[in-house]
Amino acid sequence: MPSSLVHRMPYGFGPSAGPRQGPDGQPFDWSDTPRRRAVTTSYLTDAALLGRLLPPGFSLAGEPVVTVEVQYFTELEWLAGRGYNTLGVKFPATFRGASDEVTGMFLAVLWENLADPILTGRDELGFSKLYAEIPEPRILRGKECHGASWLGHRFIDIELHDAREAEPPVPVGPATGGTLHYKYVPSTGNWGGTDIAYACHTPPGGSQQRTTRFLRALGTVTFHPTGWEEMPTQFHIVQGLAALPILEARGATISETRGGKDLADQRRLY
């Protein structure tokens, strides 16, 4: 592989293939795959409580509307045709740095059910990825039940119903600004210190993703009581999300897409 290839731990074995570099160091073809089915449910919450979840440099942008999104990916070329599932929580925010100011959707946490994309996403992109079990949905007589658990503890249920075919929406507001992240890695030995702490941006556009089906639905989100014994490394995240009141439902969507992008346009913000 050429010298500018990306390494990940373990370093000594040479560059690591991943979403943005294949076994030959070249990018993958994202024109027709992956396939993806995604559901979202959104709700208005309390601005003050939501704002507490933002890292340094970030502030809320517009209405405090939380969107929970579950994605089921298959036929990912970078995984040699395999798939995985994700569950993300995002809301509109603005990052103001020394030189950059960007408004977009802040991705507060993204659970995934496979460790390898968790590691590539954390290390290379600064996505706040964690592990959870995210089983295929249960779909019965028009009702869809999605959710996630950690070592058997179900911490979130997402239910959709009354889905109807609709036109895919044209994004407006912060959703047009791409996705915002905060890359962070602590120091080793210097406990409490910081090795990496900076904002990142996934710019909008540049994707070959096309929507093949879109539906609007009604949806609900329920976070289940979760303490240290249930999720000893993640309980504070579930508690932080569960503390957000659901003031008003803002609708749900179901979409099916093909194609995408490798996020090589991910950039650090200054």
Buried b (16+ CB within 10 A) or exposed e, 118-141: bbbbbbbbbbbbbbbbbeebeeee
Q: How many residues bind its own copies (CB under 8 A)?
A: 98
Between residue 60 and residue 79, which ones bind its own copies under the rule CB under 8 A? 74-75, 77-79
With CB under 8 A as the contact rule, the residue among 45, 94, 120, 253 that binds its own copies is 120
Considering only residues 170 to 189 of the shown chain, the ones binding its own copies according to CB under 8 A are 182-189
Residues 42 and 105 sit within 8 Å (Cβ to Cβ): no
Contact call for residue 205 and its own copies (CB under 8 A)? no
**Which residue in the set 26, 195, 212, 248 belongs to the binding site for its own copies (CB under 8 A)?**
195
| Distances, alpha carbon 232 to alpha carbons 12, 123, 150, 240, 261, in Å | 32, 23, 10, 14, 34
Q: Is 267 in the site for its own copies (CB under 8 A)?
A: yes
Q: Which of 47, 49, 151, 247 binds its own copies (CB under 8 A)?
A: 151
CA distance 225 to 228: 10
Q: Does 240 bind its own copies (CB under 8 A)?
A: yes
Interacting residue with its own copies among 100, 131, 161, 168 (CB under 8 A): 131
- Decide: is 156 part of the binding site for its own copies (CB under 8 A): no
Q: Does 138 bind its own copies (CB under 8 A)?
A: yes
Nearer to its own copies, 45 or 170 (CB): 45
Question: Does residue 124 belong to the site contacting its own copies (CB under 8 A)?
Answer: yes
**Residue closer to its own copies, measured from CB, 169 or 187:** 187
Residue 226: phi and psi, rounded to 5, are -145, 115
**Minimum gap (Å) between residue 34 Cβ and its own copies:** 10
Query: 132 vs 167, which CB is nearer to its own copies?
Result: 132
Shortest distance in whole angstroms from residue 169 CB to its own copies:
26
**Footprint (CB under 8 A) of its own copies, residues 6-35:** 6-18, 20, 22-23, 29
